[in-house]
Amino acid sequence: MKKILSLSIIASLLFAFSACRDESLNPLPGWDPGVHAFTVFDGINFNGNILARPQPYEVANAKNFPKASQNDAKVDLKTRWVSLDNKLTVNKIEIYVRMLESYNDPDGNPKVADLSENGKGKLITTITTPAANRKWNTFSITAQQVYDAYKNASVAYDKVNKVNVFNNPARPRPAGAWFRPAETTGYGSVGADSFVVTWVLTTSDGQVFNTWNPDSICADPTPVSEANSNCQLTFTVR
In tens, the pLDDT along 33-88 reads: 999 999 999 999 999 999 999 999 999 999 999 999 999 999 999 999 999 999 99
Least confident of 14-18, 75-79, 111-115, 210-214: 14-18
- Give the distance, in angstroms, between the CA of residue 25 and the centroid of all CA atoms in the same chain: 37
Residue 224 pLDDT > 80: yes
pLDDT above 70 for 19? no
Asked whether the predicted pLDDT for residue 93 surpasses 60, the reply is yes
Start-to-end CA distance of the chain, whole Å, equals 82
CA dist., res. 215 & res. 140, Å (int): 28
Residue 103 to residue 125: CA distance in whole angstroms? 28
**Residue 5 pLDDT class (50, 70, 90 cuts):** very low
pLDDT at site 7:
45
pTM for the structure as a whole: 0.87
Residues 162-219: tens digit of each pLDDT: 999 999 998 999 999 999 999 987 667 999 999 999 999 999 999 999 999 888 899 9
Separation of alpha carbons 162 and 110, rounded Å: 17
Q: In what order do the strands lie in the sheet with 36-41?
A: 36-41, 74-82, 137-142
Q: What is the pLDDT of residue 10?
A: 52
Q: Are 107 and 127 in contact (CB under 8 A)?
A: no
Kindly state the average pLDDT of the residues 109-124: 95
Which amino acid is located at 212 in the chain? W
- What average pLDDT is seen over the chain? 90
Question: What pLDDT is attached to residue 3?
Answer: 47
